[in-house]
Amino acid sequence: MSTLGPILRLRLRRDRVQLPIWFAAFAALAAVAPAAVAASFGTVAERESLVRIASGSPTILIFRGEPQGAEVDALVFFLIFAFLATLVAFMSTFLAVRHSRAEEESGRAELIAATPAGRLVPLLATALHGVGASLAAGVAVWLGFLAAGLDGSGSFTTGAAIAGTGIAFLGVGLLAGRLMRTSRGANGLAAAVIGVAYALRAAGDAGGTPSADGLSMTSAWPSWLSPIGWGQQTHAFTTISPAPLLLDLALAAVLLAVVVALASSRDLGASVFGERAGPEHAGRTLGGSLGLAWRLQRSAVVGWALAGLVFGVLAGTLGETVVELVRSNSQIGAALADLAGGRGSIIDLFTAAIFGLVGVIAAAAGTQAIIRMRQEEANGSAEALLALPLRRIRWMFDYLVVGVVAIASVLAAATAGAAVGLTRSAGTGDRVASAVDSGLAQLPAAVLILAIAALLFAVVPRLAIGLSWGVLLVSVFIGQFGELFGMPDWLRTLSPFTHTPAIGTADVDWTGAWWMLALALLLAALALAAIRRRDLAL
């Protein structure tokens, strides 16, 4: 165990830049949100009206959570907890995969295993490192809320819920690193689990039961199947029930036990789901750069498309349920129906809201295509490829094509899923046409995110991975919370998602979509010109 300290310090040193950025983001969001809510909804009447509308609108509940009162602190928890919990889940899974499967891919794990540390000490160091990071994220949220003047007990409970969620998903990341052959596959599997957890929480909240006064809700059973839902069930700032966090710790303990068992019985570098043997002779598609780029990423594209399909089916099948839930609430049903313009428009608005999340998934799929390009450059594969009669412009262009195909696959799968789910809705043809429009509306923003990632790779390759994901996360945050936090118009316009056409409204403005496509083409052209002029960054 004398090797535990040095390995743990190595983990801390490697994450000395990434983790402080995460912690600062958590603290900043927690500190700013209360002031933004108080400024936007300053009176009790305004907050009560907002909560009652949210309680009767599954669309809002899907993206925000479970309301538990109209006080400022309770409203803050309702509005941002699900987002913070999702962020800490990604932080923990990325950390776990980075220090497990990625270490085996690079060969560093083999070197460490040859020392007295063996196999289990590095795993223990990663677990302790991840637990510490999750606790630090929880402390950041706790201190951020305290700095904003929120109740101490509720702030502490929220921080504990964030930490518990991070610890639970640390176990998910460690197990994904043992199941999958590559770090890319492990991150993809972990992201899929996070998506399922978010969807279960969303379904439980959307199907919840509002109180008689409409100011609080009781989530349905699916929320209790999600680690994100467990954190939400602590009801910070109201009844304060920390018991659900024991489920986070229990899940993490079970997953860690499975990981330890697998580590003791497998070869270093092996995985539960190994890569199958390829054909004896390469197919025609591998005769060029585009075919190779597609072959390297087709599994990831299929995974992203399946995620889009799931959310599309969710959008289609819940449409009628949304209408019934809205209209069953006498306090707000008639008002929302009149505002939306009838039963069909309510379904269209709900479908468009779900496709807002699908657009983020599509943008992530496109971003991963460029990240794969950077990984090929870093491990030396690109150097060998470019030694052949292959120009750099063609090399990047092929990855841009794969990125666009990935985006289109996600949106097409989601649209197909929504179309199948909408077959039981009244006016099926109109509802399906609206779903198609919702899918098309998300395309420009996702393509623009792809072009930005390509330009970052061409200009600052060593920082491209972190900056690309950062651009996506910041864009999502501004799009989701820009208006709530009172961000100035010039800042909100920086997010591509704020320019996505609003499908389901009376007059859909596609101007922003065309401008985003034009800007994406310009940035892609700049990226192609820049990649031609720089050296490889290994």
20-29, 182-191, 323-332: which range is least confident on average?
323-332
pLDDT for 515 equals 93
Cα separation, 479 vs 426, whole angstroms? 31
What is the four-CA torsion angle of 170, 176, 182, 188, rounded to 10 degrees?
-80
- Specify whether the CB–CB gap between 471 and 452 falls below 8 A: yes
pLDDT exceeds 60 at position 337: no
pLDDT for 268 equals 60
Cα–Cα nearest to 361, from 86, 175, 88, 137: 86
Which DSSP string corresponds to 452-477?
Answer: HHHHHHHH-GGGHHHHHHHHHHHHHH
Work out the average pLDDT over 403-427.
86
Taking only the tens place, the pLDDT of each residue in 49-65 is 888 877 777 767 877 88
Check residues 217 and 286 and name the one with the higher pLDDT: 217
pLDDT for 335 equals 44
Taking only the tens place, the pLDDT of each residue in 442-488 is 999 999 999 999 999 999 988 888 889 889 988 988 887 777 677 78
pLDDT exceeds 60 at position 329: no
Check residues 30 and 430 and name the one with the higher pLDDT: 30
pLDDT exceeds 90 at position 284: no
pLDDT for 342 equals 46
pLDDT for 338 equals 46
pLDDT for 510 equals 85
pLDDT for 270 equals 59
Amino acid at 70: A
CB atoms near residue 481 (< 10 Å): 19
pTM attached to this predicted model: 0.82
pLDDT exceeds 70 at position 330: no
pLDDT for 123 equals 87
Confidence band for 247, pLDDT divided at 50, 70 and 90:
very high
- Specify whether the CB–CB gap between 170 and 92 falls below 8 A: yes
pLDDT exceeds 70 at position 368: yes
pLDDT exceeds 70 at position 319: no
Amino acid at 391: R
- Specify whether the CB–CB gap between 178 and 266 falls below 8 A: yes
pLDDT for 419 equals 85
pLDDT for 322 equals 61
pLDDT exceeds 50 at position 376: yes
51-65, 228-242, 260-274: which range is least confident on average?
260-274
Check residues 449 and 37 and name the one with the higher pLDDT: 449
Work out the average pLDDT over 423-440.
78
pLDDT above 70 as % of the chain: 88
Burial class, 131, CB count within 10 angstroms (exposed 0-12 / middle 13-18 / buried 19+):
middle
pLDDT for 88 equals 95
pLDDT for 387 equals 81
pLDDT exceeds 50 at position 29: yes
pLDDT exceeds 70 at position 164: yes
pLDDT exceeds 60 at position 234: yes
Confidence band for 293, pLDDT divided at 50, 70 and 90:
confident
pLDDT for 453 equals 95
Highest mean pLDDT among 82-96, 107-121, 482-496: 82-96
